[in-house]
Amino acid sequence: MNIKNPIYILTALLWCMAAPCTLPSCTPSPHDERAISAHPPIYPDYIDVTVPCNIAPLNFMLLDSCRANHTVHSGPTVRAIYTVAEARGFSIKSHRKGNEAIFDLKDWKRLMDHAQGATVTVTVSALTETGWIKYRPFNINVSKDKIDPYLTYRLIEPDYEVFSRLSIMERNIEDFSERVLCDYNNAGNRCMNCHTHSPSDGELSFLYVRGEGGGMVLNDHGKLRLLDFKTSDMVSGPVYAQFDPSGRYLTFSTNVIIPAFHSRPGKRLEVFDTKSDVYVYDIRNDKVLRSPLLADSTRLETFPTFGADGKSIYYCVAGMPARPTAVDSVSYSLCRIGFDPAKGTFASTVDTVVAGIRRKLSVSHPRVSPDGKHLLYTAAAYGTFPIWHRESDLQMIDLTNGKIDTLDIVNSPMSDTYHSWSSSGRWFVFASKRDDGLYGKPYFAHVSADGKVSKPFLLPQKSPSFYDDNLKSFNVPDLGKRPVSFSPADVATALHK
């Protein structure tokens, strides 16, 4: 091609003007920058977080206004953004897309390899109506501790007493791939509980489909079967359940659950139990194991989970309220009972781990870390359904000394609950409504070897504006070591056998 020919020159200029500005020559680069002392107002907030070395790119957008503690701060109008992320002499640049910083997946993985055990420094420059400004750089700490790469969750509209078009999803958090495990088409538009992994076996999991013809769908290494172990003396089928470490046992609660609208200003919905008991199911022998200490008709037992060695069961228990509507006086305590997995028998005494009334709180959703060092639970002012309680926070017990960490660095003014552990015990995920008080989103936090918990970070998405457009909550996120080996059609087949 004769580049001196005016026709070629004119054609090239017209093409460049018409094409999207993706080439370096078409994209504005920083010059005459004015440095400012503030960190960039970015969403999601990835400033000073600790992330696993196998996380997907932390794409973010620079906001014209910064949301912080539910207040709005005015900022300049952003026309373009230029971002550099550097660690140990290796750097990458973001794709420039308006006010969004989007990193190439391969480049990001190389950066994470360089940054393991170190810090990534991110420098953001923005073109505004007054010229280029350069924000104060911020850090991202990269842990050598990997996180289980598969996250399952239920996508559900944040309604009160109705549901529609539910789906249970699996996301690879090392990239942005996502697939459906089961949705309303496969389950007859019935309510589905979330998918739960075994803490030790990534090929063992279950989900629960409610209603006629439903039940617990057990995934045993890709083979699905419908479990129906409700007996005539149980108040309901299983509601909350967890595997033991060996995968032989399930501990579960049976609950009669009542949802009701609040008459108090500022309160939306209250969900409470009128009856609930705890049992253990022996999967190998198809047998329900019982203890009178876990099925006391004068008390409410719920949210059971096994200890890391399978030799104890933690659960929550409360006394019956003086009247059915006095739910604001119900305080659940965290208790523990011994269990012999070889014999399938229970201890004859119960220990109180956290006395709810004494600490002026109500405990729910206990989860023991797979390494046996810590126990996470949700603390609310009262009751048993913290997702609708703004004051709900996570707390963590050090099981070696009994000390309780109130996790101030993790919690927000909105509901923080529905947590689960990664198999190493170094990460946990939870659902938080901190952005708007309505939609639950998955956040992750790191627990160091000495028990120090880091500032949480939001699940990264390919498009940083994803959460602005998403109109469903990520409900009960659960981590797994490998992808589950069944499809939505397999679930439908299991339900119709």
Instruction: Supply the pLDDT for residue 124.
Output: 96
What string of pLDDT tens digits covers the 497 residues of the chain?
A: 444 444 433 434 433 443 334 334 345 678 889 999 999 999 999 999 999 999 999 999 998 744 443 444 455 678 889 999 999 999 999 977 689 999 999 999 999 999 999 999 999 999 988 899 999 999 999 999 999 999 999 998 876 445 567 889 999 999 999 999 988 777 666 677 778 999 878 789 998 887 777 788 999 988 999 998 889 999 998 999 999 999 999 999 999 987 665 555 555 667 878 899 999 999 999 999 999 999 999 999 999 999 999 999 999 999 988 765 667 788 999 999 999 999 999 999 999 999 998 999 999 999 999 999 999 999 999 988 787 788 999 999 999 999 999 999 999 999 999 999 999 999 999 999 999 888 999 999 999 999 999 999 999 999 999 999 898 999 999 999 999 989 888 988 888 77
Dihedral sign computed on CA atoms, order 45, 48, 52, 54: positive
Between CA 338 and CA 371 the distance in angstroms is 18
Contact at 8 Å (CB) between 253 and 295? no
Q: What are phi and psi of 219, to 5 degrees?
A: -100, 105
Contact at 8 Å (CB) between 455 and 48? yes
Q: Please list the alpha-helical segments (H only) found in 155-300.
A: none
Which among 117, 111, 119 has a CA at the least distance from the CA of 56? Answer: 111
Which tokens belong to 482?
């490998």
Residue 496: other Cβ atoms inside 10 A:
10
Between CA 396 and CA 410 the distance in angstroms is 11
End-to-end CA distance of the chain: 69
Instruction: Supply the pLDDT for residue 7.
Output: 42
- Residue 375 buriedness (CB in 10 A; 0-12 / 13-18 / 19+): buried
Model-wide pTM > 0.85: yes
State the CATH class of domain 150-495: mainly beta
Dihedral sign computed on CA atoms, order 387, 388, 390, 396: negative
The CATH fold assigned to 32-143 is: Immunoglobulin-like (2.60.40)
Instruction: Supply the pLDDT for residue 31.
Output: 84
Between CA 483 and CA 225 the distance in angstroms is 18
Instruction: Supply the pLDDT for residue 186.
Output: 72
How big is the chain by its Cα radius of gyration, in Å?
25
Residues 6+ apart with CB under 8 A from 377: 334, 354, 363, 364, 365, 366, 367, 394, 395, 396, 397
Instruction: Supply the pLDDT for residue 19.
Output: 39
Domain ranges of the chain: 32-143, 150-495
DSSP 246: T
Residues 6+ apart with CB under 8 A from 404: 354, 395, 396, 397, 398
Instruction: Supply the pLDDT for residue 16.
Output: 40
- Residue 393 buriedness (CB in 10 A; 0-12 / 13-18 / 19+): buried
